[in-house]
Structure 1
Amino acid sequence: MSMPMEIARRVADAVLYEGYLLYPYRASAAKNRVRWQFGVLVPPGFTATAEPSASVTECLLERADDAVVRLRLRFLHVRTRSVERAEGGGHRPVAELTSGERTYLTFEEATEREVEAVLPISALLDAEQTVEVRVPGDRSAELILAPSGEREGRVVSEHLPLRAALRAGAERVPGPYGLVRLRVRVENTAGWDGPEAAREQALRRSLISAHLLIGVTGGAFVSLLDPPEWARPMAQDCRNVHTWPVLVGEPGHRDVVLSSPIILYDYPDIAPESPGDLFDSTEIDEILHLRTLTLTDEETRQARATDPRAAQLIDMVGDMPPELVERLHGVIRYLDTPAREAATPWWDPAADAGVSPETDSVTVSGVEIAKGSRVRLVPGRRRADAHDMFLAGRTAQVEAVLLDLDGARHLAVTLDEDPGADLHRSHGRFLYFAPDEVEPLGDGEAIA
C-alpha cells in the first residue's frame, strides 16, 4: 500500500468508527442506544426516516487520459448479538446474563466490509461501469458455560445479507484545461418490504459509515475546497450528495481522495499523540482518557460487556505508560519567531498621526464641535436603547471626537449633572453618541 493510501486509511478508519460507541461506553447510556448516525445508506424501500439509500461523489481529474482509478468502498455491517438463557431443552432471549465473573449483554456490533474495483478512465468515459456488491449473511452461536462446565446459555450472532452497487462514470469537462469529471454513486440495492418498519430492522440491511477512498495513477485530482482559480467554476459545478470529498495523504500530493460522510478539510490526519481509537475524533483524547479512568468498577464491568472494542479501549487507557499520557496534554506543531510588537498598539489613537481626539472637531448644525464644547443629548433617532429615555434632553460636555475604523465620527461626553464626571474623565469612562444625536449649546445656555 502506498504512503498516501496508508495515511488515507488512518483517517478513513476514524470516519468508519466515528460515533461507534461513545463515552461512557456502556450499552445503558442513552447516546449508545441510538447509534449509527453517519454515512447510513438504508434500503431504498425504507422510508420511515429521511436517511438516504445512495450517495453521489463527483470530483475533477486533470492529465487523466491514461489514468486508472481505484475505488475502495468501506462500511460497517451491523451484527446482532442476542443473549439466550438455557431453559429446559431450549433457550430464552434475555437482555443480560452473568456467568462466573463475565457478563453477556444483548447488543449490536459491527463488522468492517471493504470492496475494491480498478477501472481505467477510458472505460468510464465510454459508459457507466457497475460493480455489484454482495455480502452474504451468516449466523453463529457461542455457548456460555458456567465455571462448573454446566451450560448456562448461548450468544447468537447474525449478519443479514447486504446488496449494493458502485456505479462509476466519467465525462470530459468542456474547455481548454482537459479536465475529466469522475462520478461515483454508492447505492444500497437491498429489497425491502416494510417502509414503516423500525429503524433497527432497516439498519441490519444498511451500509453504515459508508465512504469511498478513490486513488488515481496517471492523473491528479483537483481540490474542490481550494481549487486553483482557473478550475473554480468547474469545481463549483461538481455535485456531491450526502458526502464530502477531500484530498488525503501527504500534503501536496493529489492522488487520493476520501469521500466522507463527515465534513473534513484537505489533507486531514490523525494526531501522532492519539494513542488509539476512542470512537469520537472530534473530542480531545486527554479528556476521554481521563474520563475513562474515572469509571467505577461496576461501570467498567458494564462497558466491557457492551462491546469487545470497548473492552480493548479500557485496556488501552488503563495500560498507557505515563510518557504517553503526558503527550496527550498538548503539543506545539509550529513555532515561529513572534512579530515585533509595535511601540504603539493599533487601537491607541497615537498610532495614527492623522487622528487627534484632543483637537479633532466635527460640524453639527453649522457649529464646530470639539473637546470642551457643550451639547444637548437627543438620542433615539437611530437606536432603541431603553436607557436613552433617561438621557434625552440632558446636557453634556464633549471630552473627545473619535474616529472608528469605518471612518465614522463619535463624540465622547460626560454629563453636566453627573457628580462623578471628574472621576469618569480621569478613567476615560464616557458616554458615546453620533454627531446627529446631539444639539450644540451656546456657552451661556442654561443647563437642563
Structure 2
Amino acid sequence: MTDQARAIADAVLYEGYLLYPYRASAAKNKVRWQWGVLMPLAFASGGTGERFQAQSELLAEPADDAAVHVRLRFLQLQARVVQIAEGDGFRDVPSVMIGDTEFTTWDEAVEREVDAVVPVADLAAGATVPFTIDAGEDIEPLDGGRLVRKRFPLNGKIVLKAMPLPGPFGGTKITVKVVNTSDEVDDTRPEALRHAMIAAHLLLSITDGHFLSQLDPPEWASVATNECVNDGIWPVLVGGNDTVLCSPIILYDQPEIAPESAGNLFDGTEIDEILTLRTMTLTDEEKREARATDERAAEVIDRVDHLPAELVERLHGTLRYVKATTEPSTPWWDPGADESVSPETDSVTVAGVAVTKGSRVVLRPGRKRADAHDMFLAGRVAVVEAVLTDVDDGCHLAVTLKDDPGAELYAAHGRYRYFTPDEVEPL
C-alpha cells in the first residue's frame, strides 16, 4: 500500500469521527457514526434504513498468476465510562475533575484491519474470509476513580468472486462484499453500534496487473463498467492503477491530501483554514472540554494552539501549475500580449466573404443560445465592430445594430453584442 493510499484511507476512516467544536456537549457530536456503518443483520432488517453489507464491483486486467490483496478497515466502538469510587465499588458518572484534568464518559473507537490474499484464478469459484473481533475490557486507574473501556463482540466476512468479461478484449470483473454477520438483537441504534463496523472501507491491490477506472474507463470496457453494482462503497484508483479504495464516500480517482494540511480535522469536506482559525478562537473552557472529550480532539487542540504562523499562512491558498511556466512580461489578457491579433483589422471568411470591421451582416442566432433575447434579433442587420479571438482560438464578432439609435454610444463604451461566424450572413 502506498503512502498516498494509506493517507486517503485514514481520512475516510475518521471522516466525521468528531466535529468542531470537538466537545461531547455539541449537538452535532451527539449523533455520530454516519459513514460506512454496517450494522448487525437483525437491526438493519428491522426497517431502520441501516445496511448490514456493502458491495463493490471492479474491472481489472490481471496476469494469469496475479493475486488480489484485500484489506478491510473499520472502526470498532469502544465505550469509555468514567467511574468514581463509592463504598466498596464504583459508580458511573458523566464526567469528573481530578486535579486540573477533566475526564468525560464518551464512545471512542479502535482501528481494525482484516487482510486476505487470494489468487485471482481461485476466485472463479468464490472465496469467503470470515473474521471475529472479540470483546474486551481495559481499566485505567485514576485518583479516586477509574476509566473503563469496553468493547463488544463483532463478526463478519469478506466475500470475493471473479469472472471473465464477455467479448474479445479480455478483462475480469471482481466482486467484493463485506457483511456484518453479528447475530446480536439490539433495540436502539446506540446498542447496535456496539456490534457494528464503522467507516468500513476496502483497499484492494493486485500483484501483477491493474484495475480500470470506473470514472474514465477505456471505450471497450464502458458497457461492463455501467453494469457494475456498487452498493454502499465506491471504487476509485489511489496511488497508481494497481490499488483501489472502495470508499463509503464517493471520491475521484487519485485523491490526495493537500500538502498544506497540518493534520486531521475529521472533516475532509471543510476548509482547513476555516476550521483551524475557528478552533483558535475557542475559549480556554471550551478547549478544556474538548480535550476531556477525546484524545484525538486533544491532539487537534494542542496542534492548533502551537501551529506556527507560517503554516497558518500556507492554509490560505496555494497556486499550483500542471507544468513549469514563466510569467510573460505582458499578461495574456492584455491585447498587446499577442501582436498577431488585431480586432480592428482582422477578418474571418463567412460564406466565401471576408468579414471585417465595418462589414454589414444579417444576424441568425443559433438555437443553443442561453439568452432568449438574442432570438428577437434574428433577421436584423448589424455592423461588425471587431473580429475577436478567445484564448481557445474561437472567433467572435462584436456587432452593433444598424438601426439602433444608441449604437454609437454603445460602441464608444465598448458595449457590443457577440455572435459567432456561423450565426451571421454577410451582406
Q: TM above 0.5, one fold?
A: yes
Percentage of pairs with the same residue:
48
Indicate conservation of the 8 Å contact 2:60/2:173, yes or no: yes
CA distance in 1, matches of 2:308, 2:241: 37
CA distance in 2, matches of 1:233, 1:412: 51
Task: Tell me by how many angstroms 1:338 deviates.
Answer: 6.5
Give the alignment's TM-score, normalised by structure 1: 0.76
**Per-residue CA distance 1:248-302 (angstroms, 9 max, x = gap):** 11xxx32111111111111112222222211122222222222222111001000
Aligned to 1:39, the other structure's residue is in SS state: coil
Asked if 1:225 corresponds to 2:222, the answer is: no
Indicate conservation of the 8 Å contact 1:344/1:350, yes or no: no
Task: Indicate which of 164, 168, 172 corresponds to 2:160.
Answer: 168
**CA 1:423–1:35 in structure 2 vs 1: closer, same or farther (change >3 Å)?**
same
Indicate conservation of the 8 Å contact 1:48/1:198, yes or no: no
Task: Tell me by how many angstroms 1:184 deviates.
Answer: 0.6
Task: Tell me by how many angstroms 1:64 deviates.
Answer: 3.0
**CA 1:53–1:415 in structure 2 vs 1: closer, same or farther (change >3 Å)?**
same
Q: Which residue of 2 aligns with 1:110?
A: 109
Matches within 5 A, 1:378-397: none
CA distance in 1, matches of 2:55, 2:65: 24
**CA 1:328–1:426 in structure 2 vs 1: closer, same or farther (change >3 Å)?**
closer
Asked if 1:272 corresponds to 2:269, the answer is: no
Indicate conservation of the 8 Å contact 2:382/2:402, yes or no: yes
Letter in 2 for 1:169: K
Q: Which residue of 1 aligns with 2:274?
A: 287
Q: Which residue of 1 aligns with 2:236?
A: 246
**Per-residue CA distance 1:114-172 (angstroms, 9 max, x = gap):** 000010111111x1111111001112333331xxxxx2x33222111111110011111
Asked if 1:188 corresponds to 2:180, the answer is: yes
Letter in 2 for 1:41: L
CA distance in 1, matches of 2:361, 2:224: 53
Task: Tell me by how many angstroms 1:408 deviates.
Answer: 12
Matches within 5 A, 1:301-380: 301-334=288-321, 335-337=324-326, 341=332, 353=348, 360-362=360-362
CA distance in 2, matches of 1:363, 1:226: 40
Indicate conservation of the 8 Å contact 1:362/1:401, yes or no: no
Task: Tell me by how many angstroms 1:7 deviates.
Answer: 2.2
**CA 1:351–1:51 in structure 2 vs 1: closer, same or farther (change >3 Å)?**
farther
Asked if 1:43 corresponds to 2:43, the answer is: no
Letter in 2 for 1:245: P
CA distance in 1, matches of 2:277, 2:237: 33
Q: Which residue of 1 aligns with 2:249?
A: 262
**CA 1:423–1:302 in structure 2 vs 1: closer, same or farther (change >3 Å)?**
same
Matches within 5 A, 1:192-203: 192-194=184-186, 197-203=187-193
Q: Which residue of 2 aligns with 1:135?
A: 133
Q: Which residue of 2 aligns with 1:444?
A: none
Letter in 1 for 2:135: G
**CA 1:338–1:49 in structure 2 vs 1: closer, same or farther (change >3 Å)?**
farther
Indicate conservation of the 8 Å contact 2:132/2:156, yes or no: yes
**CA 1:84–1:352 in structure 2 vs 1: closer, same or farther (change >3 Å)?**
farther
Asked if 1:60 corresponds to 2:59, the answer is: yes
Aligned to 1:332, the other structure's residue is in SS state: coil
**CA 1:222–1:140 in structure 2 vs 1: closer, same or farther (change >3 Å)?**
same
Q: Which residue of 1 aligns with 2:148?
A: 156
Indicate conservation of the 8 Å contact 2:201/2:247, yes or no: yes
For the aligned residue pairs, the C-alpha RMSD in angstroms reads 3.6
CA distance in 2, matches of 1:306, 1:294: 18
Aligned to 1:230, the other structure's residue is in SS state: helix
**Per-residue CA distance 1:348-399 (angstroms, 9 max, x = gap):** 79876466796535499xxxxxxxxxxxxxxxxx979xxxxxxxxxxxx998
Q: Which residue of 2 aligns with 1:92?
A: 91
Letter in 2 for 1:22: L
Indicate conservation of the 8 Å contact 1:66/1:219, yes or no: no
Q: Which residue of 2 aligns with 1:445?
A: none
CA distance in 1, matches of 2:417, 2:62: 64
Task: Tell me by how many angstroms 1:73 deviates.
Answer: 0.2
Aligned to 2:191, the other structure's residue is in SS state: helix
Task: Tell me by how many angstroms 1:49 deviates.
Answer: 2.9
Q: Which residue of 1 aligns with 2:425?
A: none
CA distance in 2, matches of 1:56, 1:350: 63
Letter in 2 for 1:332: L
- Figure out how many residues of one structure are paired with residues of the other and give that number: 388
CA distance in 2, matches of 1:225, 1:408: 38
Indicate conservation of the 8 Å contact 1:48/1:199, yes or no: no
Give the alignment's TM-score, normalised by structure 2: 0.79
Letter in 1 for 2:250: I
CA distance in 1, matches of 2:31, 2:348: 63
**CA 1:350–1:58 in structure 2 vs 1: closer, same or farther (change >3 Å)?**
farther
Task: Tell me by how many angstroms 1:328 deviates.
Answer: 2.7
Letter in 1 for 2:299: Q
CA distance in 2, matches of 1:345, 1:192: 76
Q: Considering only CA atoms, is the larger Rg found in Structure 1 or Structure 2?
A: 1
Indicate conservation of the 8 Å contact 1:414/1:430, yes or no: no
Indicate conservation of the 8 Å contact 2:400/2:407, yes or no: no
CA distance in 2, matches of 1:104, 1:293: 22
Task: Tell me by how many angstroms 1:337 deviates.
Answer: 4.5
Asked if 1:179 corresponds to 2:171, the answer is: yes
